[in-house]
Every structure is written in structure tokens, then in C-alpha cells.
Amino acid sequence: MDLKEDNIKYKVFFFMFVLFSNLCDIAVDWLFYVDLKELEKGLVFGPVDSSLLYAVVAFAILSTFLNIIEISIKGLQLWNSDFGRGINDMLSLIVIFLGEMPLVIMNIITAGCREESLSIFQLAKACVILSGNLIRIVFFFVTNCKHCIQKLVNRKLFCLCLIGLILNCLGSISIFILTQTRPSSTLLPQLETPTKLFAEIEENQKYFGGVSIYFQHSVFQDLAPNRDNFIRLVRIDDIRNKYKKKIFINFQFKDSKQQLQMVLSRRVELGTWETPERFALNKTSKIIHVVNGKSQFNSYDQSLTFAFDFIPPEGLFLKQYVFGEIEYNVMVADGQSCSRVSVPLFYFRSEMSEKSHLVTEMNKTPRFYTNGDLTDISKVWKTGWMECDSTGSLNPSLNRTLDTPCVNWTH
């Protein structure tokens, strides 16, 4: 028997390491589960598949049970060095391949599809997981290398355990790379280096560059029954940048046999209405003109007011939303009353200029956005290194309780 095993200081130190390591494993496993469970459907990211969540629960329970057994055996060995000697190696093998490896694999799958805002806190958390696996390999080798040569069976178990630890370590390295780097346009890793403890770096352009909220209305959709027409309301980045302040967009129209007149205006909460954009569509020529000066109509058929609010991804350890969520509400006025209505909105990416609510190309008359100008957001929001389909909201979320003004006057 090794002389070190008779040294009570060595055995206490070894037990404290096992206790700390196993408790960290248990904590990381359940934090991983809670992190997945608490995730709400928001911009780009949403809840994981229920089958993955159930698998994480099952293996977290198994891992917890095995870790408690390992702690108990190591604790009893403080008083009796021979207690559990015959099952030590087999228990380590079970813990590594059934308690740790499945959760490492599921963590890799999740990290490959997910991107979080990077901070020094996130970087430190990834380093702790990686360092724990490296230390576990070194400690396992030191405490077992002499013992393993005694019998052929022990040598086989030792080799299997070492292979499992190395695989888990490689998995931890993969998780570190996937969580702390982002794919660049050259498909090479791009390491972010945050400078403040909890300040976060977000890669917005990949998901939100050129992405705006659009809507359709029967008054201009019926003008071209074989073509989808859209009006752009507001950029996603505008809403995200106006944290704690709602953005209101008002759309008014007056429809007659000769022409369709439209007015769009914008206001930030606590601010005033900006100079509106006015358009007139000639129903004969199907040409849209910009109307300069005061609106040509003193009344309207409908006045729709959209309110947009941003829910930020708050929280250091657990976040309900990875990139936040956008909520909206709509009020419609018809000159006599105001009411809430349901108007479907859409996320699209466009390469066109975002200066106007309509397409205003140089030296060309304005026109509505069409499908040819827009890219469906499901094709844009391919997440992580694995380019996974988005599990988040592909449209803004309707919130009937969101405070929305009723604009019943003409701009």
C-alpha cells in the first residue's frame, strides 16, 4: 500500500478536493438545466427542444446520485483505507462516462447553436469548467498511476478512465471555443476580449443589421392582389437602443376612388411627433408620389398607432432572454372611437435604404416593399457555429396591456 495513503493530511486534502470537485460538478449540471429551463422565447433565441431538456434532467439526477456516492466512499476511506477499494476504479469509470460525458455532449450541442453576450464573467465561468477538467486529469493520474500497475484489470480501468477524462477535457475546450468565439465572415474563430467584469459585447449586425419590422394592410394590399406589399415601420436596433422608452409609429390613410393618401409619423416616449412622411398613390397610374407640406386631407378613414417596447436580457447568471424581446400593441381610431386591433407584424432583412417607410431609390418614384426586397427572418437567424434554426420569436410579440396612445387627429 502506498505510504501517502497512510498520511492523514494527504487523505484529508484528497477528500476535500474530491468534495469540492464533485460539488462543482453537481452545481454546474443543475445550473445548466435551470439555464435552459428559464429561457423564454425572444429575439433570435428561444426554449430548447423538450426532449433535450428531459435528457439534461435525467443525466443531472444520475450525475448527482453518482457524485454523492463517490463523496461518501472517499469520506469513509478517511477512516478505513480499504473501504470500497474494489469499486473505486469502476465507480470513477461510471461517473466519467455516465455522469459527466452525456452532459458535456449536450452542453456542446447547446453551445454550438447558441451565442450569448460576452463578458469577463462569462469568460471566467468557461475557464473554471475547463480548468476543473484539467486538474481532475492531473490529480487522477497522480493518485492512480502507481496503483494501476498492480493488476491487469486496474490497468484497463485506469486507461478507460483516463480516456474518458481526456474526452471530457476536449469537450470542455470545445465548449470554451464555442461560447467565447464567434464565426466571422471568413468562417474563422474571432475571439472577443471584454474589458469590464459585467460589461457585455454583443454581435448585433449578424442578426439585426438591416432588420426592421414591417406590416401589411388591406387598403394597400388589395391594390396588387398578386403581389405582397409591405410598409416598413421601424428598425429593430432603434427599439433596442431606446431602452426603457417606447417608440410609437402612427399610420393614417384616406382612401378614395382616385387616390390613396397615407401619412406616417414617429414619436419616442416623452418626446414629440417627428415630421411625418406623406405619400399619395394614384390608383390609375399605380404611381406613388411624395406629398410635401401639410397633409391634403383633414380627416382620415383609419389611424393606426403602433407601440413598441423592448424587454432587455437582464440577469448575470440566468437570463430569460438571450438578446431580449420586442413587444407591441396597436390602437386604431376611425374618427369616432378607439379600439385595440390585431395587426400581424413581420421581421425582414432588407438591403434597401432604411431612411423612409417606403422604398425610395434615387431618381425613382417611391414604392411599397415587396418580397423581392426582403429576406425572410428564418433564413437570417441561423444561430451559432452550427447554423441552427432560430427557436426565438419570428414576429414581435403582441401585448394587449402595453400602454398605447390613440391618435385621433391628422398630422
Of 41-45, 186-190, 329-333, 384-388, the one with minimum mean pLDDT is 186-190
Number of Cβ atoms within 10 Å of the Cβ of 286: 11
Amino acid identity of residue 78, one-letter, is L
pLDDT of residue 202: 53
Q: How far is CA 64 from CA 100, 101, 134, 397, in A?
A: 10, 13, 21, 38
Number of H-type helices and E-type strands within the chain: 10, 16
pLDDT per position as a tens digit, 225-244: 667 899 999 999 999 988 77
**Same structural domain, 240 and 323:** yes
Residues 56/35, Cβ–Cβ less than 8 Å: no
- Counting other chains too, the contacts that 178-181 makes at CB distance below 8 Å and 24 or more residues apart are 178/108, 178/111, 178/112, 178/384, 178/385, 179/111, 179/116, 179/122, 179/126, 180/118, 180/122, 180/123, 180/126
Whether 406 maps to a domain, the answer reads: no
When pLDDT is averaged across residues 166-183 and rounded to a whole number, the result is 78
pLDDT of residue 206: 82
Average pLDDT taken over every residue of the chain: 79
**Same structural domain, 363 and 274:** yes
pLDDT of residue 3: 45
9: containing domain: 3-191
Whether 404 maps to a domain, the answer reads: no
Residue 166 has pLDDT above 80, yes or no: yes
Whether 273 maps to a domain, the answer reads: yes
pLDDT per position as a tens digit, 393-403: 999 999 999 99
Using 50, 70 and 90 to split pLDDT, how confident is the model at 201?
A: very low
Whether 196 maps to a domain, the answer reads: no
Whether 407 maps to a domain, the answer reads: no
Predicted TM-score (pTM) of the model is 0.80
pLDDT of residue 383: 85
Distance CA 306, CA 403 (A): 10
Whether 200 maps to a domain, the answer reads: no
Residue that terminates a domain, selected from 191, 214, 243: 191
Residue that terminates a domain, selected from 164, 191, 218: 191
**Same structural domain, 229 and 134:** no
**Same structural domain, 185 and 214:** no
Using 50, 70 and 90 to split pLDDT, how confident is the model at 27?
A: confident
Q: How far is CA 58 from CA 48, 348, 364, in A?
A: 16, 39, 61
Residue that terminates a domain, selected from 145, 166, 191: 191
**Same structural domain, 43 and 171:** yes
Residue 123 has pLDDT above 70, yes or no: no
**Same structural domain, 209 and 184:** no
Of 14-18, 76-80, 90-94, 259-263, the one with minimum mean pLDDT is 76-80
Domain total of the chain: 2
**Same structural domain, 222 and 148:** no
